[in-house]
Amino acid sequence: MDSTLFCLVKDFNLMDFPQKYNMGSKQQVDNITSSPNNQMHLNVSPWSRERDNAMRISRPAAQLVTVTPNFNSRGAHGHPNKSKRRRIITVVQRQAANVRERKRMFSLNEAFDELRRKVPTFAYEKRLSRIDTLRLAIVYISFMTDLLEQNSQNSPM
DNA sequence: TAGGCCATCTGGTCCT
DNA sequence: AGGACCAGATGGCCTA
């Protein structure tokens, strides 16, 4: 299984993935070939959230004002005929909503980190972006599915 | 310097 | 009513 996985990542490396996997060309994939040490790592990421966060300076909170929704600014997402309910929120409520949104995005990123650890990658200089993580996961799942089907066809009943 | 990626804010709908 | 979810806007950081 290890050698098969290596082939998968190697194919990814060469960017000659079968068309059926529908993999788009991306920058991080190109980086595999330029990586100084083409070692395959499973579940090992040289990048951590702490490092990533340390690189960023937290954005100062935007000016907080009492929110009065402007229904002319943006239409409903795919629900143009829905009755629009006016909702007035206070500054405190807006701040609380911002905190909840940050927590939600944090948990989303944790899930992405977990997915990054599940997909086979080389030792990247850069970690996979979210979109590349999803794409590689799709490729990986497709590959493993094909592998399973081949094994079930070859094994005598 | 342009483009990619991401964090954050914001206001909309959906759902309980 | 309020939290969850979503998508657009914005701005910072990084890399080619």
Instruction: Tokens for A13, please give them.
Output: 């490396």
Rg of chain A's alpha carbons, rounded to an integer?
22
Confidence of residue A142 (pLDDT cuts 50, 70, 90): very high
Query: Nearest nucleotide by C1' from A105 CA?
Result: B7
H-run or E-run covering A121: strand A121-122
Residue A46 DSSP code: S
pTM value is 0.62
Which residues share a beta bridge with A121?
A41
CB-proximal positions of chain C, under 7 Å:
2-8, 12-16
Question: To 5 degrees, how large is the angle CA A68–CA A72–CA A78?
Answer: 110
Low-confidence winner among A7-21, A29-43, A84-98, A110-124 (lowest mean pLDDT): A29-43
Element at A40 (helix H, strand E): strand A40-41
